[in-house]
Structures are given as structure tokens and as C-alpha cells.
Amino acid sequence: MNQKSITFALFGVIALPIAAFADTPDMEEIVVTATRMPQALNKSIADTTVLNEQDIKNSGAPDMATLLRSVPGLEVVQNGGMGSTAGIYLRGTSSTQVLVLLDGVRIDSATTGSTALEHLMLDSIDRIEIVRGNVSSLYGSEAIGGVIQLFTKQGHGAPAMNVSAGVGNQGTQRMSAGLSGAVNDTAFSVNAGRDKTDGVSAMNPLLMPNANPNNNGYDNTTLDAQIKQTINADHALTASVYSTRGNISFDNAYGLPTDINNMIETIDKYALTSDDQLNAIWHSQLRIAQGLDNSLAYTNGVQTSRYQTRNNQAAWQNNVKIADGQQLTMSVENLNQAVTSSTVFTQTSRNVNSFLGGYVGEYGVQQVQLNMRQDRYSDFGIANTGLLGYGLSFSDSWRATASISNAFKAPTFDDMYWPLAFGYQGNPNLKPERSVNREAGLHYAANGQRVDAVYFDNRINDLIELNAAYTTVTNISQARITGQELNYSGEFGDTHLRASATFQNPRDAITGQALPRRAKEFGNLGVSHDFNVLNLGAEVRYSGARQDVDSNGNTVSLSAYQLLNLTARYQIDKHLNVLGSIGNLFNRNYSEVYGYNTLGRTLFVGLNYQQ
């Protein structure tokens, strides 16, 4: 069957159960990332996925990289096991073209241009919103492929504690504890976690002879705390801190087989936020925050590199309700990025001033979204972005959407300010990468059933690549990513079903060559069932063949693979439950990156207590 036949066949299979349900509106779930204003998920024009606290618990995933593998349209590849570098490809765009926010705060590296998702554990995370499609008009640089926003846990209700602990194969140990709640006008949440594993050898020595064949372990400690003081019904102050420290052992294909390499990476977030309802229609939020990414690399106990990014951020956002179903948002932001490192960059800081405005309106069965943003960079100039979206509800349950938007990605400090060394130097004259995205979708939502079918066409210009002589980088490449996504989630009594499939063609727009490490088709099918106090779940994950390059720069093909993962949760009483999971049940041997191993079969059992 060709791609089009598979697409229509799968959509037909997904849509069949819908006929058994009447066209009644689904319960509204509120999201904020798609518009930067509270909005019902079934009214969002942007293609959005939400993972709530229960979804995260039921997944059995220990970390963000594992959890995101089941998100529609999103691929995750790692250079080895847990804690190793995780590359994310959202609708075929790369890690540097996807913006990751933690409670609205940037925590990315200004040198690599990406966020170290592999070090973000799930014990502190309450909710995740993933917006596919470029939204630079809302968030600025990096949002060519979309935005992943993580929300940490908040305190509410009577103070209560939670504790969890578990063990697994490969020397895996996990422990976490937390206390949260509210006392009078003060709400608080404190969480701490520790994860440790012996892992597997990151590299395959048959393909990378200089790699050390020993196991590459990982150790992570995470702490987060948040306190919210309600001054009165209209005003509140929130202070939060988040810190995660990961120590990963890794292999070097160009070192010695006896080398011991490890990297310690710390990600921190500090924020102070004032929420103020200034009158019946005007809500103001003022945030001052800092996001830090600090990495230290060692070989045989000797430090070989040090890189730190400081993202100092200030934002004042105002949401105004101008009529029933109509809202405006206006924001002024400042971002100062500073780099300190063992490499002496030719410039170590940049300043960005940003202005944005947005409108969301409902006119009966029609929805409209309009966003415009300007980012003024101190080093390369101005970037203007915009988005126009339209939705049409042609029944209580069926809706069509369409949008066009443009986005950009600022050059990194590595790209622009790397000093002359070994015949290579950064290029201070680089322009930002820019893209234009068009998409159209058909959506159904009613009685716990949701179906989304989306077509997208993302054209990216001025891609930053090495020049032919490998002496610097220039804006020489173009890419085009077209594709279709089919997503379904639904409930049939005590049975919960979800399915997604992505068919895409990420390619060099000039040569037609496929972009590396992206599959042309991938997806998953998950089902779980509640047997009173027992929940059993299974997930089948599939990825098609991908292209990569070997250590000599030659193009190689990575084979398609299928994995079966199982989960089980048994509720002993209302406070205590046992969780078990088996990843890659049949111990499939597959590769996500050429020369690197994957974990094989993983086993885990844990005990969770919630007061």
C-alpha cells in the first residue's frame, strides 16, 4: 500500500468507533500555550497535545525523553541510554528548532541552541502542553517546529505528602518525595527526586572501535519548590525554584578504549511572578526569571570543557477580555543571554527586546486567531513574525482549522562567535533561519472521543550549515517538511485507547535528500483497561527507516523497528499503589543514532504513596 492508501485506511479505522456516539460537546480542557491565554482545547486552532498528571503516572516513564516518544508528531533519539544526549524532532524539525519552556521560562543553552531534555525527570512535572507548528509570533526564536511547555506541581488543598521508590534491571534505582498543599492564603509545593542507573555501553565497539566498552551509567538529582501567596481575590505572588543535576558517563569515538568520560549538567530555574486582576476585564502578569544551563565535561578525571548559559528574562503580559468570546494579549519582554566558558568566544552576551500582540475571537461557529511579534536582537537585528488562524465548527462535534505563520531561529553563540581554531571560525554575519508554515486540519471531539487529522507544509530558508571548505558556517541550505498527522484518543467504558500516525517527508529543498534521523512514517498505539483496582496497559511503537551518517561522513540507513511496552498499576488502598513496567518486551535490537546502542529490555517495579 502506498502512503496515501495507508493514511486513509488508518483514518477510517480510527473514525469507525465515533459513529456509536451522539454529537454532544466534549468536556472542556483548558490550555494556555497555543495562544498565551486560557482557551478550551477543543477551540484551539493550533494542533495541541496535553499530558496531565495522570497521563504521566500511567506512562511509567522515568524521564522526559522517554515520555515524549509517545507524543504524536514527535521523535526522540538518544546517544545511548538514560541521561545521554536526546535529540527531538517535532514534525521533522530539529532540537534547535523546538522551544522548550519550564513554567514559561527558557532553560536552553545559547551555545548549542537546544534544551537538555534528557536531564528533566518527571517527579516535579504536573502537566505538559505540546504545540505543533511554528509559533514564533507568540514565543520568539526556536519555535519553528513548535513549543513544549512543562508545568511544575503547585500546592492546593490540605497539606499532603507523597513518596515513591522503585528498582529495575541495569542497576536502576528511583526515589522521590514531596509535600504540597495550602494553609490559609499560602500554597506551597516541594519535591525532590533521585534517579540512578548503570545503563549500557553507549557505543557499539564493533562500529566505533575506539569506544570504551564499559557500561555508561547515569545519576540525577532534582529539587523544585514553589510558594504562592494570595494577597486578596485579585492579587497573588509566586516564587519558584527548580534545579536538576545529571551526571552521565559517555563514550568518545575519537578517544582511547580505556578513556573514562563523563559530563555533569545542571539546569536551574528561578522565577518571581505577580498575577494581578486589575479590573473585571484586565489580567496582568509580571515575571522576572533566570534560566541556567551549566555543563562540565571530564576525561579520566580531568576537566576538558565548561559552558554556562544565563537566560535573564523579564516579561509583562496583559490579557484583556474585550467582549464575550474575544480576548486580546499584549506583552513586552526582555531576554539577556550571557555565556561563560572554557572557550573564549569573540562575544559573550546578547540582548533581545520583544513586543507582541494577539487576538482570539469566537463569532458563533467561527474562531479567529491573530498574532504579531517583533524581536530586536543586539547582534543581528530585527525578526518580525505573525500567525493567522481560522476555525469553523460545522456541528457540535466537528471542526475544521487552517493557519499560516512564519517563524525564525536565532544563530547560536557557537555559530556566530566561535574563535578561530584549527582553521574554523564562527560567522558573525549570519542571518536567522526563517520558515513559513501552512496547515489545515479536521477535528472531532465528543463524549471522551477525540480525532485530529492535520496536513502541514513547513518551508525553512537560510538554514545554517558548514560551508564546503568546513571553515565556517553560512546560510546556505533550505528544507521543506510536508506531511500528515492522524491522532485519536478515546474511552470505551473502562478501556482507554490512543493512536497516532505521522507520515512526513523532511528533505533538503535543493537536493531532495532526506534530513537525517527523521523517519518518513512513525506512530504508536496504546491501550489500557481498568479492572477495578488494577490497570493494565500496552503500547506498540513503530518507527520507519531513517538516514544517518557514519564516523567517516558516509550516508547510512538505520532500520525500521517496532517495540512493545507494558505497564501495570495495582491500587492497594486509596493511598498506596504498585507500578510495574516492561520496556521493549521482546528485547528488539535497534539503533536511533548510528554507532550507538539502545537499552534493550527494561524492567521496573515501584511503590507509590500519596497521602
Q: Which of 19-28, 129-138, 270-279, 352-361 has the lowest mean pLDDT?
A: 19-28
pLDDT in tens, 410-428: 999 999 999 998 899 999 9
Confidence of residue 17 (pLDDT cuts 50, 70, 90): very low
Instruction: Name the DSSP letter for residue 209.
Output: T
In this structure, is the dihedral angle defined by the CA atoms of residues 229, 235, 239 and 242, taken in order, positive or negative?
Answer: positive
> 552: pLDDT confidence band, cut at 50, 70 and 90?
confident
Which residues are CB-neighbours of 553 under 8 A, at least 6 positions away?
A: none
Q: 422: alpha, beta or left, given left = phi > 0 and alpha = psi -120 to 50?
A: left
Phi, psi of 124 (to 5 degrees): -100, -5
Would you state the pLDDT for residue 534? 95
pLDDT at 24: 36
Mean pLDDT for 250-267 is: 95
Q: What is the pLDDT of residues 530-544, one digit of tens each?
A: 999 999 999 999 999
Pairing of strands 125-132, 39-40: unpaired
* pLDDT confidence tier of residue 62, bands split at 50, 70 and 90: confident
Q: Are 288 and 272 in contact (CB under 8 A)?
A: yes
Q: What is the pLDDT of residue 592?
A: 95
Residues of the chain above pLDDT 70, percent: 95
Residues 6+ apart with CB under 8 A from 552: none
pLDDT value for 3: 45
Main-chain phi, psi angles of 339, to 5 degrees: -120, 130
- Dihedral through CA 398, CA 407, CA 361, CA 389, nearest 10? -40
Q: Which three cell numbers stand for residue 166?
A: 522503585
Look up the pTM and report it: 0.94
Please give the Cα distance from 251 to 214 (Å, whole number): 9
pLDDT at 11 over 90: no
Hey, is 38 helix, strand or coil?
coil
Q: Which of 33, 7, 5, 73 is nearest to 456 (CA)?
A: 73
What confidence tens digit (pLDDT) does each residue in 592-604 have? 999 999 999 999 9
The more confidently predicted of residues 272 and 8 is: 272
Task: Report yes or no: 88 and 98 within 8 Å, Cβ to Cβ.
Answer: yes
Mean pLDDT on 114-140 = 95
What is the sign, positive or negative, of the torsion defined by CA atoms of 77, 142, 268, 412? positive
Query: Does residue 118 sit in helix, strand or coil?
Result: helix
Residue 580's closest CA among 593, 591, 570, 594?
570
Q: Is 290 a residue whose pLDDT tops 90?
A: yes
Give the pLDDT of residue 20: 37
| Confidence check: pLDDT of 350 > 90 | yes
Predicted confidence band at 58 (pLDDT cuts at 50, 70, 90)? confident
Average pLDDT score over residue span 560-571: 96
pLDDT at 570 over 60: yes
DSSP letter for 551, please: T
Can you read off the three cell numbers belonging to residue 364? Answer: 458563533
Among the listed residues 106, 98, 130, the one whose alpha carbon sits nearest the alpha carbon of residue 435: 98
CA pair distance 166, 60, nearest whole angstrom: 11
Residue 2, pLDDT > 90, answer no
What are the grid coordinates assigned to 603, written together?
524492567
Q: What is the pLDDT of residues 216-251, one digit of tens each?
A: 999 999 999 999 999 999 999 999 999 999 999 999
AA letter at 489:
S
pLDDT band at 522 (very low <50, low <70, confident <90, very high): very high
* Cβ contact 487:10 at 8 Å: no
Tell me the per-residue pLDDT of 425-476, one tens digit each, with 9 for 90 and over.
Answer: 999 999 999 999 999 999 999 888 999 999 999 999 999 999 989 999 999 9
| 19 has pLDDT over 80 | no
pLDDT, averaged across the chain: 93
C-alpha distances in angstroms, 183 versus 158, 235, 316? 7, 17, 29
Nearest one of 152, 148, 119, 130 to 53, comparing CA atoms: 152
Under 8 Å between Cβ of 413 and 345:
yes
What's the CA gap between 381 and 379, in Å, rounded? 6
Residue 170 neighbours by CB under 8 Å, 6+ apart: 81, 197, 198, 199, 200, 215, 599, 602
As a whole number of angstroms, the distance between CA 130 and CA 487 comes to: 14
Structure-block grid coordinates of residue 297: 565535561
Position 211 confidence tier, pLDDT thresholds 50, 70, 90: very high
Mean pLDDT of 378-399: 95
The number of beta carbons lying within 10 Å of the beta carbon of residue 53 is: 14
User: What's the rounded Cα separation, in Å, for the pair 485 and 454?
Assistant: 5
pLDDT at 4 over 80: no
Residue-wise pLDDT for 141-177, tens only, equals 999 999 999 999 999 999 999 999 999 999 999 999 9
Residue 42 in this model has a pLDDT that exceeds 80: yes
Inform me whether the pLDDT recorded for 23 exceeds 70. Answer: no
Q: What is the per-residue pLDDT for 8?
A: 40
Measured distance CA(342)–CA(319) in Å, rounded: 43
pLDDT tens digits, one per residue of 364-373: 999 999 999 9
Query: CA 165 to CA 409: how far, in whole Å?
Result: 41
Q: In one letter, which amino acid is 172?
A: T
Task: Write down the pLDDT at residue 9.
Answer: 44
The residue assigned the cell 564562527 is 426
Question: Which domains are delineated in the chain?
Answer: 3-610 (2.40.170.20)
CB 100 within 8 A of CB 64: no
Q: Which contiguous run of DSSP H or E holds residue 317?
A: strand 302-323
Question: φ and ψ at 143, to 5 degrees?
Answer: -90, 35
Q: How do strand 98-102 and strand 146-152 relate by DSSP bridges?
A: parallel
